[in-house]
Amino acid sequence: MATGIAFIILFGLLVDWLMRKFKLPGLIGLLIIGVVVGPYCLNIFSPEMKAVASDLRLIALIIILLRAGLEVSKTTLAKVGARALLMSFIPCLCEVAVITYFGPKLLNLTTLESAILGSILAAVSPAVVVPFMIQFIKEGKGKKHGAPTLILAAASCDDAFAIVLCTSFLGIYTGSKLSTMQQIISLPISIILGLLAGAVIGLFMCKFFDKFQPRATKKVLIVVSTAIFLVALQKNIHSIINFSALLATMAIGFIILEKREYIAHQLSLKLSKIWIFAQLVLFILVGSEVNVPVAVDAGISGTIIILLGLIGRSIGVQLCLIKSIFTLKERIFITISYLPKATVQAAMGAVPLIAMKQAGMITIPGEIILAVAVLSILITAPLGAIAISASSKKLL
């Protein structure tokens, strides 16, 4: 495993540097490396590295979300609050609706199978989007109306909503004991409990840091470890009560920023340094999840369904921004920023296939869903990253 981490660091830094030389986002090169060294191409990583890959991706994602929370001020959030709520589910529903309609026509899936596919494709990738938004906030881009903050606030809720939809549709498909209504009701409960948990923990940490005054490095270790425990807790008690641990993670950062701004700046500085390593791990390991042969098998029909879904999502974004304070350029930028797919598709793409196998059902629909999910990463992650980076210079 140590060799695998050394490989990620050395080749990741090299490729990141080369990408920036060509004025391209570094994550594109990292994703490509991941695809090449992953199990579906050169298969370089050891079994030990593969075993801990999901945990490493989780830690990197937690660092992203903590940084996001530490950059979202209450003043700016107040400007975009209502819009962020709309952006958390309307674009997702629009994309799911389009894919549900066209799936039977293009991919020979049933309507319900198409809805499962749509719910997997409909999640925007915080791994791709959030680092850009944090960078833009630091540079003061879009500060007047808070476009990057809107995207930060809405992206995680968008993911949670898409995952709940996928779970609900898959439950119906495989005959889950939970009713659709029960699964849908769990979404707002999960969001509210996640925000409350994060707020309580954030307040406790403020008082804890005041009393014991640990060094900044120790503060970061405490915050990151707490977030990891929250994710573990969510997995262990989700059958009893569900809450969004990732939203709780963002809320911790937000509360610390509001209550102890100087501590927030300390944490943000340390996390920005950790992120240098974390981004290498995250994007290379996400790339390693891409099954290239399966993606190729999805073919033209898969590409068309992805593009149609993105059109539906873009319409949903524009509906959310009607009569908002954002300029036309900012609205276009927000739409572009809501296109990339990666994290959820890598994590959830194979879930329907596994569920179908366990239920003793025909697995061809699951294979198609996985193929299109993988294809969505290959198409939207690099192109979305390039579009966000390039458009920010003219639209923000």
CATH value at residue 141 = 1.20.1530.20
| pLDDT tops 60 at residue 179 | no
pLDDT of residue 127: 79
| pLDDT tops 60 at residue 151 | yes
> Does 45 reside within a domain?
no
CA distances in angstroms from 62 to 27, 98, 127, 225, listed in the order given: 17, 31, 10, 10
Mean per-residue pLDDT for 334-345?
Answer: 89
> Does 367 reside within a domain?
yes
Mean per-residue pLDDT for 355-383?
Answer: 87
> Does 144 reside within a domain?
yes
Give the pLDDT confidence of 260-280 residue by residue, as tens digits. 999 999 999 999 899 889 888
CA distances in angstroms from 109 to 22, 94, 106, 125, listed in the order given: 41, 19, 8, 25
pLDDT of residue 183: 60
> Does 40 reside within a domain?
no
> Does 130 reside within a domain?
yes
For tokens 């879904």, the residue is: 309
| pLDDT tops 80 at residue 291 | no
Q: Domain range for residue 62?
A: 52-395
| pLDDT tops 90 at residue 217 | yes
Mean per-residue pLDDT for 207-227?
Answer: 94
CA angle 103, 128, 369 (to 5 degrees): 20
> Does 36 reside within a domain?
no
> Does 4 reside within a domain?
no
**Residues contacting residue 386 through CB under 8 Å, at least 6 positions apart:** 24, 25, 28
Percent of the chain with pLDDT over 70: 95
Between CA 319 and CA 316 the distance in angstroms is 5
Between CA 100 and CA 63 the distance in angstroms is 34
pLDDT of residue 13: 93
Find the distance separating the first CA and the last CA of the chain, reported in whole Å: 42
Q: Give yes or no for a contact between 269 and 261, defined as CB atoms under 8 angstroms apart.
A: no
pLDDT of residue 176: 58
Residue 249 vs residue 310, higher pLDDT? 310
| Amino acid sitting at position 14 | L
pLDDT of residue 229: 94
Phi, then psi, of 339 in degrees rounded to 5? -100, -35
3-state SS string for 168-232 = HHHHHHHCCCCCHHHHHHHHHHHHHHHHHHHHHHHHHHHHHHHHHCCCHHHHHHHHHHHHHHHHH
Q: Give yes or no for a contact between 223 and 206, defined as CB atoms under 8 angstroms apart.
A: no
Number of domain units in the chain: 1
The structure tokens listed for 323 are 């009569």
Mean per-residue pLDDT for 18-36?
Answer: 83
Q: What is the band of 242 on the pLDDT scale with cuts at 50, 70, 90? A: confident
Q: Does pTM surpass 0.85?
A: no
Between CA 279 and CA 95 the distance in angstroms is 28
pLDDT of residue 138: 86
Mean per-residue pLDDT for 217-231?
Answer: 94
pLDDT of residue 170: 82
> Does 29 reside within a domain?
no
